Amino acid sequence: MSRFEPTDSFFEDEIREGFYIPAVMKKAWGAQLRVLNEIDRVCVELGIKYFATWGTFLGAVRHGGYVPWDDDLDICMLRDDYDHFLEEGIPLLSEGYTVYNHKSRADHLMFVANVVARENICFEEEYLKEFHGFPYIVGVDVFQLDYMSPDPKEHQLFRLRSMLVQKVAGDIFQGKLEGKDLRNQLKQLEETIGIRLPDGMDPNEVRRILDIKTVELFSYYVGKKERAEKIVQMMPCGFWDDDFYILPAKYYRKQTEIPFEMGKMPVPLYYEPAVRKHYREYMKVYKGGAAHSYPYFEAMREEMQALSGNELPEYHVNVEALPERRTVLGSDTAHPGESYRDVVNECLGEMESLQAELKSLVNTIGICAELQQLAVDLGTYMEAVKGEGYDIVGILEKYCEALYGFSQENTTEALSAVNGLFHEASEKIRVRKEILFLPFKGKYWKAFETEYKKWATDLNADVYVVPIPYYYKDYLGQLYDMQYDFSEYPADLPRIHYDEYDLALHHPDRIYIQNPYDQWNEITSVPPAYFSDKLLAYTERLIYIPWFRTYDFTREDGPQYFNMKYYCNMPGVINADEVILQSRMIKDAYIEKLCEFVGEETREIWEKKLMVADPEPRSGAGKEPDEKILLYYQDFSDVLLYAEQSVEKLQAAVERFKGQKEYEKMIILKSALIDEELKKLEPELYEHYTEALAAAASVGAVEVRNESTTNLAALVEACSAFCGDAGRIAHMFNVAGKPVEIQEYE
């Protein structure tokens, strides 16, 4: 069983913390996790420890998965484990895997190894099947942690020697050292460090040898690792003359695992203080700082397209067609078959002609009989299409009764009653609009609620909610496994199965859609009958409302703005008569993106058809829970690190709750690792801690729950505020917009 096994739903586009993650990024993540599964298999076989590091480490501790705007996967190993992996692990990797490092490639200039599944972009079917349809080069970065001498002078000596070697290597790489200058520098290295290189070597090979020597210097203390009190990632952190990322060695002596996406990620035993050392105030969210352009695979896509000389499959727009698109997008606005409105209007036309003949008061019995039959036929047809009990049918029934009375009395008063009822029925029929909502997922219905409520209370509107299905795409882009969650909408929402609603027959006045992609999404597609260009044939007004809400951003917010191509430059936006967006700032971003996509000359089109919805409160800023509940949580690694002080913190939190009146209830959430790890590592501390939990649970209005058996999202929604340790649970409250108080130990 692999460590990470993503399901189909994992690869769907998603909003996390106001950030849009497209399906192609999910494929990249899934492919990276597949590479990590391979590394994990080898490491387990050889008894090698590895740990999440950098953005992956931050994501595991703070987000329980990838940082939403991150696009790569980083792990680290202690130097001896890393060397073991290179020597014995590489041969155990499956066919096709390659490890880039200083020894394997002369052009590898970084002090980080890269484990890649293939060295080139690959479209082989077996590869695409294994790596979730992601053809680009995919891998995992492997950083190394080095043991430091407990003697500061000895460590400083090796640090300076490493810096000298790297200074010479860097100058050679940049072409700053040649001829006599190069020989002098190499001579100095020989006298100072004992590095001797023969004359006449290629500068790139000199650089490679010096890099390998630098690694040897980094590794000088690995043979005495049991004496090491601290560790550091030597390049570049160990070069800096401060304690940045210098960590107690005990943090990394053992592994533990914490949630990460659909599995668990190995992290150092003392992961919370370790990530705090990495990122200082790591609970503050900063959307930036990646060491490469986002997303990393975009440059590969552009290069592949340039080399092939062919356009890669993607959605394109005919600029010339935009102003008159309804007559050029495959099918025009002509009804594809006779519609409900055609039939009703034809019937009303016949009835109007006969109504005019009634004024002559000649042959009224025969005309009344014809009108009665037409009214009955019209009412029967309406109920067949609109449903039994349709209100206008009641007016037609009264109209038939009035016709009978007139045929018997033949008076102007009776004729006036007939005319009044016919006018009432025909006016109601003509002003009545039909509004159709086509949601594709129950959990996305909320995006339609404002518009739905507006039309549902309009007496001159017939409103239909018709949930539509969607399909997953396999690694070759073929549709399979239809998804239809008809039952997952609000129970009180009237809705119709998509098989029971005939678009051509109903021809609604307005159709609302929330899926912009048509066939152009990487992982899902709605049925072709519901593509936006097809729907244009069945309505006078097609309206698109995104299924999601992001946080507001501008084009300066790089990753957010880049990812717009996956939902803004799409058919639903282009084909809709109206697009309803969440804010003016998002509208401006759409306009800029669409002008880049289609052309600056189209700016006026987007200004007119992009609308801004009434503002809505963000998640967490709405209705306060009925019961005011305070959640208290202590992270396992802090309990382990601070020991008895953490028990005192727990007891103090309970006493504080007992002495206040703001919260009616306190829930103490026990870390899943307390029972899994603390019991084995520190049995006495475990006993004392569980006794403190039992004492807390005996207090009225205090409840203790286990993290492993708790729905965390529901718990955050139910609680009013958070108090306790930094980490994933506290971050969930931050994202929900609820008060967070982080307790201090030092």
Q: What is the 3-class SS of 711-733, one letter each residue?
A: CHHHHHHHCCEEEECCCHHHHHH
If pLDDT is split at 50, 70 and 90, which confidence band does 376 have? very high
Q: Which of 144, 190, 145 is nearest to 168 (CA)?
A: 190
Collapsing DSSP to helix, strand or coil, 339 comes out as coil
Residue 292 has pLDDT above 90, yes or no: no
Residue 237 has pLDDT above 90, yes or no: no
**Mean pLDDT confidence for 616-634:** 73
| CA dist., res. 633 & res. 128, Å (int) | 42
Q: Residues of 693-721 as b/e, b for ≥16 C-beta within 10 angstroms?
A: beebeeeeebebeebeeeeeeebbeebbb
Q: Give Rg (Cα) of the chain.
A: 34
Where is mean pLDDT largest: 151-165, 305-319, 647-661? Answer: 647-661
Residue 654 has pLDDT above 90, yes or no: yes
Residue 142: CB atoms within 10 A of its CB come to 22
Q: Facing residues of 224 across strands? A: none
Q: Give domain limits for the chain.
A: 8-146+248-277, 340-428, 433-612, 629-742
Which tens digit of pLDDT belongs to each residue from 501-551?
Answer: 999 999 999 999 999 999 999 999 999 999 999 999 999 999 999 999 999
Q: Which of 117, 108, 30, 98 is nearest to 66 (CA)?
A: 30
Helix axis angle for 340-358 and 364-386, nearest 10°, is 160
Quick check: 736 and 721 in contact, CB under 8 A? no
| CA dist., res. 339 & res. 679, Å (int) | 71
pLDDT at res. 328: 36
- Beta strands (DSSP E) in 530-584 are 541-544, 578-581
Locate 663 and state its tokens: 């919260």
Residue 621 has pLDDT above 50, yes or no: no
- Beta strands (DSSP E) in 261-348 are 263-268
pLDDT at res. 535: 96
CA distances from 210 to 106, 184, 189, 203, 223 (A): 11, 15, 10, 10, 22
Topology classification of domain 629-742:
Rossmann fold (3.40.50)
pLDDT at res. 336: 55
If pLDDT is split at 50, 70 and 90, which confidence band does 660 have? very high
CA distances from 410 to 380, 404, 557 (A): 27, 10, 77
Candidate from 45-54, 256-265, 331-340, 378-387 with smallest mean pLDDT: 331-340
pLDDT at res. 678: 95
- Signed CA dihedral, 682, 685, 689, 694: sign only: positive
Helix axis angle for 391-409 and 412-431, nearest 10°, is 160
Which tens digit of pLDDT belongs to each residue from 128-147?
Answer: 999 999 999 999 999 999 99
| CA dist., res. 521 & res. 377, Å (int) | 45
If pLDDT is split at 50, 70 and 90, which confidence band does 615 have? low
Query: DSSP code of 62?
Result: I
Which tens digit of pLDDT belongs to each residue from 71-121?
Answer: 999 999 999 999 999 999 999 999 999 999 887 877 777 889 999 999 999
pLDDT at res. 509: 95
Candidate from 180-189, 699-708, 715-724 with smallest mean pLDDT: 180-189
CA distances from 61 to 329, 556, 727 (A): 49, 28, 6
The gap from C-alpha 670 to its chain's centroid, in whole angstroms, comes to 28
Q: Which of 49, 143, 151 is nearest to 101 (CA)?
A: 143
Query: Mean pLDDT score of the chain, rounded to an integer?
Result: 91
Quick check: 256 and 35 in contact, CB under 8 A? no
User: Model's pTM, two decimal places?
Assistant: 0.91
If pLDDT is split at 50, 70 and 90, which confidence band does 623 have? low
**Mean pLDDT confidence for 287-291:** 60
Query: DSSP code of 678?
Result: I
Residue 230 has pLDDT above 60, yes or no: yes
Q: Is the peptide bond before 295 cis (omega within 30 degrees of 0)?
A: yes
Q: How much of the chain, in percent, has pLDDT values that exceed 70?
A: 95
Quick check: 229 and 148 in contact, CB under 8 A? yes
**Mean pLDDT confidence for 368-378:** 94
Q: Give me the CATH code for the 433-612 domain, please.
A: 3.40.50
Topology classification of domain 8-146+248-277:
Beta Polymerase; domain 2 (3.30.460)
If pLDDT is split at 50, 70 and 90, which confidence band does 192 have? confident
If pLDDT is split at 50, 70 and 90, which confidence band does 625 have? low
- For tokens 């490491």, what's the residue? 43
| CA dist., res. 707 & res. 562, Å (int) | 37
Query: In three state form, how does the secondary structure of 400-424 look?
Result: HHHHHHHHHHCCHHHHHHHHHHHHH
Residue 611 has pLDDT above 80, yes or no: yes
If pLDDT is split at 50, 70 and 90, which confidence band does 329 have? very low
Locate 561 and state its tokens: 């703005």
Beta-carbon contacts of 262 under 8 Å, excluding residues fewer than 6 positions away, are: 4, 5, 6, 7, 10
Collapsing DSSP to helix, strand or coil, 51 comes out as strand
If pLDDT is split at 50, 70 and 90, which confidence band does 585 have? very high
Length of the chain: 746
pLDDT at res. 331: 41
Beta-carbon contacts of 639 under 8 Å, excluding residues fewer than 6 positions away, are: 646, 671, 674, 678, 685, 689
If pLDDT is split at 50, 70 and 90, which confidence band does 210 have? confident
Quick check: 491 and 462 in contact, CB under 8 A? no
Query: DSSP code of 624?
Result: P
pLDDT at res. 444: 96
State the amino acid at position 202 in one-letter form: D
Beta-carbon contacts of 162 under 8 Å, excluding residues fewer than 6 positions away, are: 214, 217, 218, 234, 238, 239
| CA dist., res. 669 & res. 682, Å (int) | 20
Q: Is the peptide bond before 150 cis (omega within 30 degrees of 0)?
A: no
Q: Facing residues of 144 across strands? A: 77
Quick check: 31 and 574 in contact, CB under 8 A? no
Locate 388 and state its tokens: 């039994």
Q: Do domains 433-612 and 629-742 have the same CATH topology?
A: yes
Collapsing DSSP to helix, strand or coil, 4 comes out as coil
